[in-house]
Structure 1
Amino acid sequence: MSKFGELIDVEIPVLLDFYTDREDQSIAMHPILRDVAAALGDKAKVIKIDVEKNKELAEALRVKGLPTLIIYKNGEMKWRHSGEQDANTLINIIQEYI
């Protein structure tokens, strides 16, 4: 879990996508998140976290529905959403924290 702390304790916004490849909604988010990452460049990070490989972290953050999207900045959770989002909405939300 210490690696998780290093991931989120940065000055730029970090969008975490908790997903599983067994869920259609999670799979549908992959190209959207690629677009978000491309649009924001080095102003933000987009990190995908497979809940099946990171069960402890998903439980610690109480991830229930997938996909779950969480934005952190400076180690603090700023925004959270369960379910799909479109690229433009995500980009606008992340830009609030840049």
Structure 2
Amino acid sequence: MGKAIEITDANFEQMIAGDKPVLVDFWADWCAPCKMIGPIVEELAGDYEGKAIIGKLDVQENSQVPMKFGIRNIPTLLIFKNGQLVDKQVGVVPKNVLAQKLNNAIVAEKV
């Protein structure tokens, strides 16, 4: 079963550089909505194993990447492909919304 990968300031560029879509969940331990979306992100990691990379970036531990992308509210979920930001979601949403965004990124990759 897939599990969300820990993404940090140090490994961020390397993580998003591949050709698979990468969903990054910007979160913090003290954020109640982040705890609501956390299990959904973990489920997506299992559902999309081999098709996409699902990761979590703790904004308490890592400040450079959130600053670079102007993350002010968490949870914020960004989707990257080939190192480029292709989609964004701020706040808690149902799993199907995030799945659709990932599906869009996966399909776009094949064009």
- How does the TM-score come out when normalised to structure 2? 0.83
* Matched residue type, 1:27: K
Pick the aligned partner of 1:6 from 14, 25, 37: 14
**Partner residue of 1:79?**
87
Runs of 4+ deviating beyond 3 Å:
none
2:78 corresponds to 1:90 = no
1:68 to 76, 80, 86: 76
Which residue does the alignment assign to 1:53?
61
Per-residue CA deviations over 1:34-89 (Å, capped at 9, x if unaligned) read: 11111111100110000010012211111000000000000000001210121111
Q: Name the amino acid aligned to 1:49.
A: L
Alpha-carbon distance between aligned partners in 2 of 1:74 and 1:2, rounded to the nearest angstrom? 18
Q: CA RMSD in A?
A: 1.2
- Paired residues, number: 98
Alignment pair present for 1:23 and 2:31: yes
Determine helix, strand or coil for the equivalent of 1:97. Answer: helix
> Residue 73 of structure 2 aligns to a residue in which SS?
coil
Identity of aligned residues (%): 29
- Whose helix fraction is larger, Structure 1's or Structure 2's? 1
Unmatched 5+ stretches in structure 1:
none
Name the CA shift for 1:55/1:93 in 2 (closer, same or farther; >3 Å): same
Tell me, which stretches of 5 or more residues in structure 2 are unaligned?
1-8, 107-111
- What is the CA distance between 1:3 and its match in structure 2? 2.6
Greater relative contact order, per chain length (Cα 8 Å cut-off, separation 6+)? 1
Instruction: Identify which range, 66-75 or 77-86, moves more after superposition.
Output: 77-86
